[in-house]
Amino acid sequence: MCGIIGCTGVKCAAKTLYRGLEDLEYRGYDSAGIAVLDCGGIITVKRKGRVAALLPAIEELGGTTGIGHTRWATHGRPSDANAHPHTAGAFSVVHNGIIENYAELKKELADEGCTFFSQTDSEVVVHLLNKYYRGDLKEAVLSTVRRLRGAFALCILCKDYSGFVAVKYCNPIIVGTGGGALFAASDMPALCGLAENVAVMQDGQIAFAAEGKITFCDFSGEAASLTFSTLPVSARPARLCGFPHYMIKEINEIPAAIKATASAFTSENCAEKLARIQKKRGGFTDVVVCGCGTAFHSALAAAYCGEELLKIPVRAETAGEFRYRKSSAGAGTLFIAVSQSGETADTVEAARAAKRLGACVIAVTNVAYSAITGVADVVIPVRAGVEICVAATKSYCGQIVALALTFASLCQSSSALKSMLKELKTLGAACSAAITDCRVEDVARACASSSGVYFIGRGMDYPVALEGSLKLKEVSYVPGEGYPAGELKHGTIALIDGGTLTVAIITDKTLGEKTASAVEQICSRGGRAAVVCFKGCAPLSLKERAEFFIEVPACSACLSPAVSVIPLQLIAYRTAVILGRDPDKPRNLAKSVTVE
């Protein structure tokens, strides 16, 4: 959710932290702040708004050690007071996560005379540190973390310590070294150009970084160690490269993401890994594909494909629901967890829950060093590259490809995988044609002026309808929903009038007439309609009946969502731009949802 960073041993801590926060801003942009050790004390600057709001205030900050934060608000509205770092006594703290028992801790501390200046759960951490500090920093940190329940990644400054402390529990933090300086951050791109070598901290670890050296211990105080490796080239932060927004840049990167994902599946011997675990397990009786938001939509699309290929029950579930209900998953279940970041709290916990039930767990993720990879029996890589726009585009298409390849590898037909890999060699060209040739401006203007936009589809097109609706809501704030086309007359049609637009997706010719019937019903009631279809799949009558008609190149059913979604992504992007919204940083959203 939030982005945190720490550094020590640099020339100017404030400028280093500011640069790192720019690369972490996709994790939250409600407020930002920096604290530095300077003149024997801690100096803090924090502001409501985006990271750029800090720039005028940090010009005069000195010091070689500091911590920084960019916030996605959980407890307390965006404000200067609720911005991190939080400072009390000898300490300053930045936090990513949620302290679940903060209310009882806050009451205890208030009863002891502590004064709170924010509405956040995070402020209890700095008061606990101050409470337990008697000159021994390690003991104060250990006493504090043992009191916390929830999920937390922390960077801590103490005025009596020349460096910083990093703490990890359930939320990500990476430490790095380079040029005699030491660093910590929520994600690797923030360390690019700073650290030469990095290590991913494990749950329950504490790092003490000072005077050119990082030492580790666990929450019991016992010494721990981590292996450092060279910062991967893939971690370098993305730049706009001439595009006006990251969203449109990343849509244009879909062909490359598809090619890289297919290549990684082959080069990392994923088919062989899947075959080995399938043999070890004696096959599977059912499959659960799990995710949140866009990842759930790719999971739902994959469920259609998986059931067709495997001939066993395959169902998609939202991770937040799976983890809390009594599930029928067991030793015969294949559980596939889908997460762009690999840190999505609900998805990681759902995977852990499935594993406790005896299921085999596969992770499909865009981040090789993420938490979910530590849970999985097999990791299927998505190679979409760094995705900055909060609304997922290229990573969704990468997930579609990775999941389709997974099911093709697991099915009984030896030709299924070969056929899919062959098709993937030309799929990028189909996506490129969809990106280049789609004329969406008129549809986007219709969306911008509509009171609601509804997306409908049947079969594999239904998950795409859900994703199209989500994209439009995320970046343009235009309300609407995605529905199965057959459900239209079971209540939803009551919403249709002259102020609404319905977008129908058709990629299966056998279902085209059925969806066309729904479009007829919409038009008969004064609604406006747009059709997005594979060439040759929609009835010819729709070209005359629908107000807008967009065709894209056809492909096989299992891979179709990677192509048919592109016009919907472009419509969402253009609608946001027309309405003056920032498509990269939609209000109230953050890229990585690492809390419930």
The 10s digit of each residue's pLDDT in 329-373 is 899 999 999 999 999 999 999 999 999 999 999 999 999 989 999
- Predicted local confidence at residue 301, as pLDDT: 97
As a whole number, mean pLDDT of residues 25-52 equals 93
Query: Whole-angstrom Cα distance, residue 129 to residue 312?
Result: 54
Residue 30 lies in a domain: yes
What is the value of pTM for the model shown? 0.91
Confidence of residue 512 (pLDDT cuts 50, 70, 90): confident
Same domain flag for 165 and 199? yes
Residue 279 lies in a domain: yes
Residue 595 lies in a domain: no
Domain count along the chain: 3
Same domain flag for 389 and 457? no
Residue 588 lies in a domain: no
Amino acid at 207: A
User: Taking 70 as the threshold, does the pLDDT of residue 90 lie above it?
Assistant: yes
Same domain flag for 269 and 364? yes
Kind of pairing, strands 229-230 and 333-339? unpaired
Of 435, 459, 489, the residue that ends a domain is 435
Contact 339, 291 (CB under 8 A): yes
Residue 457 lies in a domain: yes
Residue 589 lies in a domain: no
> Of 566, 543, 533, nearest to 458 (Cα)?
533
Of 435, 453, 470, the residue that ends a domain is 435
The 10s digit of each residue's pLDDT in 191-234 is 999 999 999 999 999 999 999 999 999 999 999 999 999 998 87
Same domain flag for 251 and 364? yes
> Of 169, 184, 179, nearest to 214 (Cα)?
184
| 567: CATH | 3.40.50.10490
Residue 335 — φ and ψ, nearest 5°? -110, 120
Query: Whole-angstrom Cα distance, residue 299 to residue 592?
Result: 18
Query: Whole-angstrom Cα distance, residue 14 to residue 42?
Result: 12
Tokens found for residue 401 = 């490809």
Q: Which of 48, 106, 131, 591 is catalytic?
A: 591
591 is an active site residue = yes
Q: At what angle do helices 137-145 and 123-132 cross, to 10 degrees?
A: 130
Which ranges of 411-460 does DSSP label H, i.e. alpha helix?
414-437, 441-448
- Predicted local confidence at residue 576, as pLDDT: 98
Q: 488 exposed, middle or buried (CB, 10 Å; 0-12, 13-18, 19+)?
A: buried
Residue 171 lies in a domain: yes
| 48: CATH | 3.60.20.10
As a whole number, mean pLDDT of residues 510-528 equals 87
Same domain flag for 190 and 250? no
Same domain flag for 244 and 231? no
Tokens found for residue 452 = 């609601």
The 10s digit of each residue's pLDDT in 315-330 is 999 999 998 888 778 9
Same domain flag for 311 and 384? yes
Confidence of residue 595 (pLDDT cuts 50, 70, 90): low
Residue 591 lies in a domain: no
Handedness of CA 65, 93, 593, 72 (dihedral sign): negative
The 10s digit of each residue's pLDDT in 151-187 is 999 999 999 999 999 999 999 999 999 999 999 999 9
Tokens found for residue 171 = 């939320």
As a whole number, mean pLDDT of residues 13-29 equals 93
Same domain flag for 431 and 442? no
Contact 145, 167 (CB under 8 A): yes
Same domain flag for 48 and 152? yes
Same domain flag for 224 and 316? no
For 25: left if phi > 0, alpha if psi spans -120 to 50, otherwise beta; the answer is alpha
Same domain flag for 256 and 192? no
Contact 549, 561 (CB under 8 A): no
514 is an active site residue = no
Partnered with residue 183 across adjacent β-strands are 7, 176
Query: Whole-angstrom Cα distance, residue 204 to residue 186?
Result: 16
As a whole number, mean pLDDT of residues 481-491 equals 87
Mean pLDDT of the chain: 94
- Predicted local confidence at residue 88, as pLDDT: 95
Kind of pairing, strands 181-185 and 174-178? antiparallel
Of 235, 259, 277, the residue that ends a domain is 235
Same domain flag for 251 and 316? yes
Contact 571, 468 (CB under 8 A): yes
What percent of the chain clears pLDDT 90, i.e. is strictly above it?
A: 82
Query: Whole-angstrom Cα distance, residue 35 to residue 156?
Result: 10
| Residue 501 structural domain | 438-583
